[in-house]
Structures are given as structure tokens and as C-alpha cells.
Amino acid sequence: LTESFNLTSHMTLYLARDAVIKATQDTRNWPLIAPLPSYGRGRERPGGRYMSFIHGDGVHDVVISGENGTIDGQGDIWWNMWRQRTLQFTRPNLIEFVHSTSIIISNVIFRNSPFWNIHPVYCSNVVVRYVTILAPADSPNTDGIDPDSSSNVCIEDSYISTGDDLVAVKSGWDEYGIFYGRPSSDI
């Protein structure tokens, strides 16, 4: 059980078989960060957003892999806040890479993300393969993989069953994404 954490360049996060990393459900322990420029404001609420559970900003040569160990976002507390309309900021993603290159995510199980599961944004050269992504069918906005304003992204040989989109290619949000002007390509 842990709070949000950052990855660094040239790092491998390896999950052995039966290993489980669980996100804290104490929402006071999730750092707040600024909205993405291509989103202009929080996606769900005006203002900031909670940092993703596993975060990488400006990193390169990062691997998240293993023997099908699990990263569990324990998202039910966040889904309930969304349903009850008590969120103060946008929910955290499970994994987010920002302005990063050469990312490999493979052989890991992701479950119960508070919001989107895997969100590479403003990234290039990303490979996601042999992953399993799970969330209940009624879990709100638990997209599987959302490449966003990114290029050269390969998604293959994966199983996704969530409460929203399985794979959703994005280029920001509404007029903010248009103004930011970085379309996704070569997905």
C-alpha cells in the first residue's frame, strides 16, 4: 500500500508473480498538480487534478513489466465520490507519462483505476503489450489505454474490460486541445 510516486529515466519497475502494489484510498494523500495544457482546466472539475498513482514527467527509457503482478488503484472510493458529486478535483489516472519517450509497459495486470488506466500524454515511442486491464462495468471513466497528443504508440496483445472506453486516442479536450495543436499520430 503506497501513495502516488514518480518514476525516473532509465528505470524498470518490475512486478514479480503475485506481487501487488495498491494505491492508498486516503484522498488527502494524493498530491494535486496543474491541469494539462491541452485540457485547459480539470477534466471533471475546474482547477487542478490529482497526480496519477504512478507518474513520469519528462522521463525516457522507462519499463513497467513483470510476471503479471498487479497494480491496483483501489478506485471504488473515487467512483463513489464521482457518483455522489463530491469530487473537488479531477480523479487521478492509474499510470500517466507526460513529455516522455521510449516507454514500455508489458506483462502487468492493472485493476480498479480511479480514472483512466494508462495515459501517455505528449509522449513518443510507447509500447503497451501483454497487459490486462480490469475494472467493473459500472466504474465511471475507467478507460483502458488513452494515448493523448502522442506519436509512435503500439498497443497489442492485451485484454481490457473496463467501465468505459477500451482504447481512446485523444488529442487534448475540446477547444483546449485544438489550441494546443498536438494531434496524436502513428498509433
Residue 187 domain flag: no
Q: Are strands 5-6 and 124-129 parallel, antiparallel or unpaired?
A: unpaired
**36 in a structural domain:** yes
Q: Is residue 21 part of a domain?
A: yes
Domain-embedded: residue 109: yes
Indicate which CATH number applies to the domain containing 42.
Answer: 2.160.20.10
Active site residues per annotation: 164
* CA-wise closest residue to 12 among 94, 69, 72, 74: 69
Average pLDDT over residues 67-75: 98
Q: Which domain holds residue 59?
A: 5-180
Q: How many CB atoms lie within 10 A of CB 159?
A: 12
- Report the number of distinct structural domains present in the chain: 1
Mean pLDDT for 80-102 is 98
User: Does residue 186 form part of some domain?
Assistant: no
**185 occurs within a structural domain:** no
- Domain-embedded: residue 136: yes
In-domain check, residue 84:
yes
Grid cell in block for residue 165? 472506453
For the segment 19-27, the average pLDDT, to the nearest whole number, is: 98
- Mean per-residue pLDDT for 87-97? 97
Determine the pLDDT at residue 41.
84
Alpha-carbon 5 to chain mean position: 13
Q: Is the pTM of this model over 0.85?
A: yes
